[in-house]
Structure 1
Amino acid sequence: MKNCLIFVLGVLSLCSAAAQAEQIGSVDTVFKLFGPDHKIVVEAFDDPDVKNVTCYISRAKTGGIKGGLGLAEDTSDAAISCQQIGPVEVSDDIKKGGDKGTVVFKQRTSLIFKKLQVVRFYDPKRNALVYLSYSDKVVDGSPKNAISAVPIIPWGNR
């Protein structure tokens, strides 16, 4: 019973990470007679630790009956683009620590074992934030990845 409760709480915590992204739109890629079509979805999320940086992710979403029930495993294909949308405010902790890799976004891409992650790095030499998206799996991850950089530049009349 205790193991079952831990399992359920773990699954719920993975599901809660999905609420961080806002779906912007989608396009169908394969028609499925039963269940939703396969598609590419575009989602946006704001960096939780850096004010005025928004990242957009496009990723494959499996349809069909298994996809409609949330049982399908999505492919590891994803792209990312991060943008400055106002004056960027980077904390001293990020600047001093060099931000060697902080997970800023997680989205499950299978029922339990696979997730899409975005990790932020700080490049002090170039004064930029670098965002890496990749997919991992408990046993075997994927080398497929995408990267986006946001230079920290003055905004407006500052």
Structure 2
Amino acid sequence: MQRQMISVLAGATLLAAAGNVLADEVGRVGVDWVGNDIVIEALHDPEVEGVTCHIAYFDRSMFDRLSNGNWFEDPSNSSIACRQTGPITIGDIDLGEDGEEVFKQGRSLIFKKLVINRIFDRENDTLIYLAHSREVAEGSAKMSLSTVPLYDQSVSWKNGAP
């Protein structure tokens, strides 16, 4: 029975990490003696060259998962900070009010995702990055926001400025 439980937990961990192909881990800070960590990752926007977002989130240890009984889920809390890290070239981005999803990472076995949406604020000439949790049954009020102002910057638009 114990071997089956370990196999299930290992599989869940691999599935939860599978969505993490676009981000590079740049830091990991231990927060307690049971192995819980805050993970910091760098994410490069695939359609906006020269912008890097750093996201931080809580990564529960296997010991914490086993002792608390919530084996397949990490907390929804996250933080995001996006900055210009080079010359900005903007590709084919969605200019609509709801923007577009640029990153998604599993935070539970199946149903919970950490999502980052990019929205272009045309009036203020600013890129907005919104980090939030998406769940099938209910949404979460936990979110974090970061902006990259384009005002007075040398920005190149591949398809022409809007």
TM over 0.5: yes
**Structure 1 residue 119 corresponds to structure 2 residue 117:** yes
Taking a change above 3 Å as real, the CA distance of residues 26 and 15 of structure 1, as seen in their structure-2 partners, is closer
Unaligned regions of 5+ residues in structure 1, if any?
A: 1-11
SS in 2 for 1:111: coil
- 2:15·2:106 contact (CA, 8 Å) conserved in 1? no
- Other structure's SS at 2:146 match: strand
The CA deviation at 1:38 is 0.8
Q: Which residue of 1 aligns with 2:73?
A: 73
Question: What secondary structure does 1:23 align onto?
Answer: strand
The TM-score normalised by the length of structure 1 is 0.77
Q: Is the 2:16–2:109 Cα contact (8 Å) retained in structure 1? A: no
Q: 1:139 aligned to 2:137?
A: yes
- Partner Cα separation in structure 2 for residue 43 and residue 64 of structure 1: 20
SS in 1 for 2:93: helix
Query: Aligned partners of 1:16 and 1:74: how far apart in 2?
Result: 14
Aligned to 1:41: 39
In 1, Cα distance between the equivalents of 2:93 and 2:114? 23
Tell whether the 8 Å contact from 1:98 to 1:123 is kept in structure 2 after alignment: no
Q: Percent identity?
A: 38
Q: CA deviation at 1:13?
A: 8.7
Which residue of the partner structure matches residue 29 of structure 1?
A: 31
User: For 2:89 and 2:98, how far apart are their aligned partners in 1?
Assistant: 18
**Relative to 1, partners in 2 of residues 1:116 and 1:143: Cα closer, same or farther, differing over 3 Å?**
same
For residue 14 of structure 1, report the CA deviation from its aligned partner. Answer: 7.1
Provide the rounded CA distance (Å) in 1 between the counterparts of 2:72 and 2:17: 15
Distance 2:73 2:41 in 1: 18
What is the TM-score of this pair, normalised by structure 2?
A: 0.75
2:7 counterpart residue number: none
Mapped partners of 2:38, 2:16: distance in 1: 21
Q: How many residues align?
A: 136
- The amino acid across from 1:141 in the alignment is G
Alpha-carbon offset, residue 121 of structure 1: 0.1
CA distance in 2, matches of 1:111, 1:45: 22
Structure 2 counterpart of 1:84, one-letter code = Q
Q: 1:49 to 1:14 in 2, by over 3 A?
A: farther
- Contact kept? 1:50, 1:90, Cα under 8 Å: yes
CA-atom RMSD in angstroms: 2.3
Distance 1:46 1:75, change over 3 A: same
Task: Give the whole-Å Cα distance in 2 for the aligned partners of 1:134 and 1:151.
Answer: 21
Runs of 4+ in 1 over 2 A off after TM superposition: 12-17, 64-68, 97-100
